[in-house]
Structure 1
Amino acid sequence: MPSTPCPAAAAAPTHYENFPVASWLCPPRLRPPIAAIYAFARTADDIADEGEADADRRLADLRAFRAELAAAARAAAPSPRWPQVFGPLSQAMRDFALPEALLADLLSAFVQDIEKTRDAGGYADRAELLHYCRRSANPIGRLLLHLYGVDDAQALARSDAICSALQLINFWQDLSVDLPRGRCYLPAAELASHGLAAEDLRGFMPLAPAAPPPSAIGLVAAQVAWARELMNEGTPLVHRLPGRAGWELRFVVQGGLRILDKIEALGFDSWSQRPTLGKADAPRLAWRALRMRRQSPAMKSFPR
């Protein structure tokens, strides 16, 4: 799942994140609801991904988590199971009228992940994968726009483009992690267009004897270009959001684009190595964020 596309420093994540949560750029009054949204998404993600539970146990836990969300929407007292999540979230839902449906969409995406992994399922084409992103990533951006009081159709569409791009970037960054776990987000149509099938991927996963063939490298290159195009569609949103929110989003966009640059620098071989962001990337991200202008939507032109 994607990292939360707006940081807040209230609760330090225990997982690697491309885009840190709770930074000082978020207005102080919005840090509690943003941290509550992050804790909700992070905990649900852990239920779906972490530990040794089987699929049935994970699905049962997510059903219980969904029931807790419904209770929070009614302002009912949280159960003893996840009070650290639903206490703050319930307060945020009351104070900021957070839409329950957007939070529920996130859970439906986690359920889909579990079921597809259990059934060795995949995605037929880009449209199906984007439908997953609509529930796995886009709700986060829409929740944040809700907090900032931005709800026009153009801003929502651009937010969706950025969030879907971030989700795709996470997929192409994590090939070496997801494939050994039985998760394949590469659409079947994209594999076929490069002369590959899902069963071929086992041959060049990490520790496999063979290096990724040119067809696999070309496949990743095409997905990187797709994600970059989608991100650039949403980039004008940074000029629509006021003050700190706009600067926050600049860093999120540039963080995603930087991961794409790193995949490209690896020769598009994210099959063998997972690129990440580190402290050394901060100056470059800051410089690129400063250079984002209304007239310059094409981030590809920035020096790497």
Structure 2
Amino acid sequence: MSAGGGALPLQAVPEAEALRAQVSGSSFYAAMRLMPRREREAMFAIYAFCRQVDDIADDGTRPRALRARELDRWRADLAALYAGAPAGRAAFLTPAVRDFGLRQADFLAVIDGMAMDVEADLRAPDEATLDLYCDRVASAVGRLSTRVFGMEEAPGLALARDLGRALQLTNILRDLDEDAAIGRLYLPAELLRQAGIESDDPATVLADARVEAACRVLAGRAEAYFAAADRLLRGRPRGRLLAPRLMQAVYSALLRDMRAAGWAPPRRRVRIGKPRLLALVARCWLMR
């Protein structure tokens, strides 16, 4: 890819400061602050891209066709960026793409994941569709991130696959009610049927105490992905791995807390408080 195209600094993105404020105090921001500046800025650029396309997907105030066109504009801007032409809104990604060899296919996969939410609200997708969604919206971000971390190809792809899916399944289990409020239900149909639930209506499913059984099976899958990621990280592959170690520590703790609280109605949203987050940061720092 040419480094041309009139690259803009991330600070020129109108939402940049709001994004920084939004993630301050989060595990993501804590992980980024521990990274060298060049890698930190690249990661924030990736996050800013993901946040902007996700906001398009979640903007229920606009027609689906309009949101689909907005995602197509991002595809066109990325094509221009990788062709060395003026890249519009994607120009702020130029330094990260140039410095770390980020792949266009991974950015496009993220957009394709957002397009799944734009085409229709996902409601009890089948297992294959859910896995494809997780690969696009989470593992593709991991593939971008592991290149910033300086990992070699094979372990980087493996970590992106396992940790990405673990994080996304944990998000799904944490955000059940928030997703239902906008008409979405990511619990797979097969697990709901195994629990005796035939409906795909979010409100109906989440009001049914049997949803607990489906959630516990999905939590078990997330735990297996976390375990696979942990085995890989314990093998000390090459790279700057403090950030993924911290994300794994925080989200696996969140999953354990959710298991203890359960998913039967009424649910409460489980959070990792700041003192505990700081303790996890310190532990990961000492174990690096």
TM-score tier, shorter chain, comes to 0.7 to 0.9
What is the CA-CA distance between 1:154 and the residue it aligns to? 3.8
What is the CA-CA distance between 1:287 and the residue it aligns to? 6.4
**Structure 1 stretches of 4+ moved >4 Å:** 15-18, 290-293
Give the alignment partner of residue 106 of structure 1, picking from 104, 107, 110.
110
Partner of 1:258: 253
What is the CA-CA distance between 1:241 and the residue it aligns to? 4.5
Q: Is 1:238 matched up with 2:242?
A: no
- The one-letter amino acid of 1:138's match is S
Normalised TM-score (structure 2)? 0.83
Residues 39-98 of structure 1: CA distance to partner in whole angstroms, max 9, x if unpaired? Answer: 11111111111361121111111111111111111222233xx3xxx2320232233321
Q: Judging changes above 3 Å, is the alpha-carbon distance between structure 1 residues 65 and 152 closer, same or farther for their aligned structure 2 residues?
A: closer
Partner of 1:181: 182
Contact kept? 2:123, 2:200, Cα under 8 Å: no
- The one-letter amino acid of 2:43's match is I
Contact kept? 1:161, 1:231, Cα under 8 Å: yes
- The one-letter amino acid of 2:176's match is L
Could you say which structure has the higher helix fraction?
Answer: 2
Q: Is 1:92 matched up with 2:101?
A: no
**How many residue pairs get matched?**
270
Q: Is 1:54 matched up with 2:54?
A: no
Contact kept? 1:123, 1:185, Cα under 8 Å: yes
- SS for the counterpart of 1:23 is helix
What is the CA-CA distance between 1:112 and the residue it aligns to? 0.7
Identity among equivalent positions (%) equals: 30
Q: Which stretch of structure 1 is more off in the superposition, 283-292 or 160-169?
A: 283-292
What is the CA-CA distance between 1:131 and the residue it aligns to? 1.8
Instruction: Write the distance in 2 (CA, Å) between the matches of 1:181 and 1:12.
Output: 25
Instruction: Write the distance in 2 (CA, Å) between the matches of 1:55 and 1:17.
Output: 33
Within-5 A mapping of 1:112-131:
112-117=116-121, 121-125=123-127, 127-131=128-132
Residues 163-201 of structure 1: CA distance to partner in whole angstroms, max 9, x if unpaired? Answer: 111011100100011112111111110000000123465
Residues 12-50 of structure 1: CA distance to partner in whole angstroms, max 9, x if unpaired? Answer: 152698632363211222122212111111111111113
Give the alignment partner of residue 223 of structure 2, picking from 204, 212, 228.
228
Q: Is 1:12 matched up with 2:39?
A: no
Partner of 2:83: 74
- The one-letter amino acid of 1:103's match is F
Instruction: Write the distance in 1 (CA, Å) between the matches of 2:59 and 2:150.
Output: 34
Normalised TM-score (structure 1)? 0.79
Instruction: Write the distance in 2 (CA, Å) between the matches of 1:178 and 1:16.
Output: 23
Where does structure 2 lack aligned partners over 5 or more consecutive residues? 1-16
- SS for the counterpart of 1:150 is coil
- SS for the counterpart of 2:151 is coil
Give the alignment partner of residue 271 of structure 2, picking from 251, 255, 276.
276
What is the CA-CA distance between 1:10 and the residue it aligns to? 11
RMSD across aligned positions (CA)? 2.8
Instruction: Write the distance in 1 (CA, Å) between the matches of 2:60 and 2:120.
Output: 18
